Amino acid sequence: MARSPTTMTGIPLNDNLVPLSAVAMVGASQADWEPSRAELARVDQWLATAMASGSQTALRILNDHLHSTSADAWLGYGRIVLQRGYPSLAAAVLERALAHQPTSVALRYWFSLASWQAGDAANAEAGLRRLLADNTTDARAAMLLGQVLRGQGKLNAAAGGLAERVEAVLGNTQGVLDWAQFMRECQRQDLAAELCEREQARGNADPRLSALMGTLAQELGRFESARKHYLDAIAHGIDQNLWFVLASLASIERYRDRQHPDFALFESGIRNPALSPRARAGVLFALGKAFDDIGDFASAAGAWREANELMRPLGSWSRGTWQAFVAARIASAPMPVSRAVARDSVPIFVVGLPRTGTTLVAELLGRHPDIRNRGELPTLAYLAERLAGLDATQRAAAVDDAAAIYLAHLRRDDAPTPCYIDKNPLNFRYLDTIAALFPDARVIYCRRQARDTALSIWSQSFAHDDYGFAGDFHDIAAMATGCGELMAHWQRSLSIPIITIDYEQVAADPATTIAQLIAQLGLTPFDPAQADHGSTSVITSASQWQARQPIHQRSVERWRNYVDYLPELIELFPE
């Protein structure tokens, strides 16, 4: 079997970059089917035979047992085996079943699912395309084909395939939401918005559609449209414990005075007794941002402090765990270098603490005709952690596959370009993995004045567990210290170029700074000021609104506004 770009020696992957066993359980739970205890016992006995005597012997036994039974019996065995975490065996069972029942739609679907989870993306894709050719409105098969394509980095094909079959979900609100969210994850916010608009045109006033359309418009830089959708969602009773629309409202404009109607919305939200602590914190972050906009720094600090007090018990970030991680990374042995060094594109990694200008730098560089900005990718961290879990021999055999997997997710299936940006700031944790997988890579390290960085992190709501340090100034200080130690270590020990750039320098003279950076990257000269500030590119980070505005210096030495209200800035972050 040809090796798929979604498998790596010792590291099974799927399109969401999570272990296959988790996906097997998700896939198995999608249908209304529960095996009996007797069925589970028979399958476990059969699996024991497979382990002891080999899969071919076990398959012959199963074939004799189920030869004249229905497709449902075969399907039941295959699905239990898949649920047990043996996708290759499940695919073999279902393939044998198809020899008896070749027209069974259910068998064909589950065989494709098992093949995909077993790492045979090509067979899964071929089977799903045949199935959809016979039944173009099979929504489940269409979504699975999208997942298979996305797992190979074919994001446009994945989202486009669903867009061609939207009739399969129109009229089904949850189906529309799921498909639109999938398209969004494929960076096709335009297709997701079109799907939601078509559903609304049918008369569907579900507030979740409005909330999602607000998010899509915001990520596309259509802020007036986003505001309209968010207000529609609120007016139609959106569940604010699941959809943080008030926090989103605050993130898409700069408030001028206390009379703006959003202040009343935020204060009403805080008084809502039905809000969860996380949702209430989101509203408090929004109110703090609004107070900061109008210069009421005391009220802003108070709202943010209350928000972070609500958020801290909800996270699991540990200062001690982080310090141990940094020490282990510094002490780790060098990784073997990938042998696949001849490539037609160069990855550029923009790293640093969050809120140090990584989004701004990536957005400005992404306007260069030879660079495509992919935003914040989760791929590198997943690969680095899985490689670290292998022994030295396995790791040496796996680096080429890891590089191929990453490049598939970086390049995708749009027009090729010489350079691609991954601006996940926390990739600074894994620069040794970058150097091993891509000896020709470039790293841009973004820095910012420590007190401004700390204030900006502390005043921002982050959803991901990796950012659990954001709500406590002591944790932010520990994170910053670890970042500095790691970057100093990488600069001493790695051969890949690491270019350092300061936020204040970009804010003061963006044209000159970016021109110098482009020259250091070895690219043709280009003035980013010639490009439209309202770029149609997708931005999904917390800085999506700021990155689309004309560059200013209001955030330089912003910490001085908070000296009287946040003494931790002085105590923990010396100049």
Strands 346-351 and 442-447 come out as: parallel
In a domain, 30, yes or no: yes
Residue 289 makes CB contacts below 8 A (sequence gap 6+) with: 250, 251, 300, 459
State residue 505's pLDDT score: 94
Chosen domain end from 152, 171, 195: 152
- Is 310 in the same domain as 378? no
- Per residue in 128-143, pLDDT (tens digit) is 999 999 988 899 999 9
Strands 346-351 and 371-373 come out as: unpaired
Is the pLDDT assigned to residue 395 strictly greater than 60? yes
In a domain, 295, yes or no: yes
Is the pLDDT assigned to residue 171 strictly greater than 50? yes
State residue 11's pLDDT score: 36
In a domain, 222, yes or no: no
Interatomic CA distance for residues 418 and 526, integer angstroms: 15
- Per residue in 198-218, pLDDT (tens digit) is 999 999 999 999 999 999 999
- Name the least confident of 18-27, 85-94, 213-222: 18-27
- Is 299 in the same domain as 412? no
Split at pLDDT 50, 70, 90, the class of 23 is: very low
State residue 46's pLDDT score: 81
State residue 531's pLDDT score: 59
CA 76 to chain centre: 34
With the C-alpha atoms ordered 150, 156, 161, 165, is the resulting torsion angle positive or negative? Answer: positive
In a domain, 211, yes or no: no
- The H-or-E segment that residue 371 falls in is strand 371-373
Is the pLDDT assigned to residue 470 strictly greater than 90? yes
The model's pTM: 0.86
Q: What is the dihedral of CA 384, 388, 390, 392, to 10 degrees?
A: 110
Please state, in angstroms and as integers, the Cα–Cα distance from residue 446 to each residue in 34, 139, 330, 433, 480, following that order. 52, 44, 20, 19, 12
Token pair, residue 166, equals: 């939207």
- Is 362 in the same domain as 279? no
- Per residue in 281-292, pLDDT (tens digit) is 999 999 999 999
Which of 393, 391, 381 is CA-nearest to residue 422? 381
State residue 539's pLDDT score: 60
With the C-alpha atoms ordered 417, 188, 359, 404, is the resulting torsion angle positive or negative? Answer: negative
- Is 298 in the same domain as 327? no
Running DSSP on this structure, what letter comes out for residue 561?
G
Interatomic CA distance for residues 282 and 248, integer angstroms: 9
Token pair, residue 362, equals: 């990536």
Helix, strand or coil for residue 419?
strand
What share of the chain has pLDDT > 90, as a percent? Answer: 72
Contact yes or no for 387/316 (Cβ under 8 A):
no
In a domain, 207, yes or no: no
- CATH number of the domain encompassing residue 143: 1.25.40.10
Token pair, residue 405, equals: 């997997």
In a domain, 201, yes or no: no
Split at pLDDT 50, 70, 90, the class of 14 is: very low
- CATH number of the domain encompassing residue 328: 3.40.50.300
What share of the chain has pLDDT > 70, as a percent? Answer: 89
Strands 7-8 and 442-447 come out as: unpaired
Is the pLDDT assigned to residue 161 strictly greater than 80? yes
State residue 551's pLDDT score: 60
State residue 464's pLDDT score: 87
Helix, strand or coil for residue 54?
coil
State residue 20's pLDDT score: 28
- Name the least confident of 144-153, 260-269, 432-441, 521-530: 521-530
* Bridge partners, residue 299, by sequence: none
Split at pLDDT 50, 70, 90, the class of 17 is: very low
- Is 375 in the same domain as 486? yes
Q: Choose from 55-59, 100-104, 409-413, 473-477 the range with maximum mean pLDDT.
A: 473-477
- Is 324 in the same domain as 445? yes
Name the packing angle between helices 87-100 and 71-83 (round to 10°).
170
Q: What is the mean pLDDT of residues 305-330?
A: 96
Chosen domain end from 90, 117, 152: 152
- Is 310 in the same domain as 334? no
In a domain, 219, yes or no: no
State residue 299's pLDDT score: 98
Is the pLDDT assigned to residue 70 strictly greater than 80? no
- Is 336 in the same domain as 442? yes
- Is 448 in the same domain as 541? yes
Strands (E) across 407-465 are located at 419-422, 442-447
- The H-or-E segment that residue 33 falls in is none
Helix, strand or coil for residue 431?
helix
Domain that holds residue 105: 7-152
Contact yes or no for 300/459 (Cβ under 8 A):
yes
How many domains in the chain? 3
- Is 345 in the same domain as 477? yes
State residue 8's pLDDT score: 39
Q: What is the mean pLDDT of residues 295-315?
A: 96
- Is 364 in the same domain as 252? no
Burial class (CB in 10 A: 0-12, 13-18, 19+), 514: buried
Split at pLDDT 50, 70, 90, the class of 345 is: confident
Selected residue with higher pLDDT from 125 and 84: 125
Q: What is the mean pLDDT of residues 350-365?
A: 95
Mean pLDDT in the chain? Answer: 88
Contact yes or no for 425/35 (Cβ under 8 A):
no
Is the pLDDT assigned to residue 100 strictly greater than 80? yes
State residue 530's pLDDT score: 67
State residue 324's pLDDT score: 98
Split at pLDDT 50, 70, 90, the class of 403 is: very high
- Is 330 in the same domain as 250? no
Q: What is the mean pLDDT of residues 258-279?
A: 96
Is the pLDDT assigned to residue 25 strictly greater than 70? no
Strands 11-12 and 7-8 come out as: antiparallel
Interatomic CA distance for residues 453 and 358, integer angstroms: 12
In a domain, 248, yes or no: yes
Chosen domain end from 117, 152, 187: 152
Is the pLDDT assigned to residue 503 strictly greater than 80? yes
- The H-or-E segment that residue 570 falls in is helix 568-572
State residue 527's pLDDT score: 76
Is the pLDDT assigned to residue 76 strictly greater than 90? no
State residue 106's pLDDT score: 92
- The H-or-E segment that residue 314 falls in is none
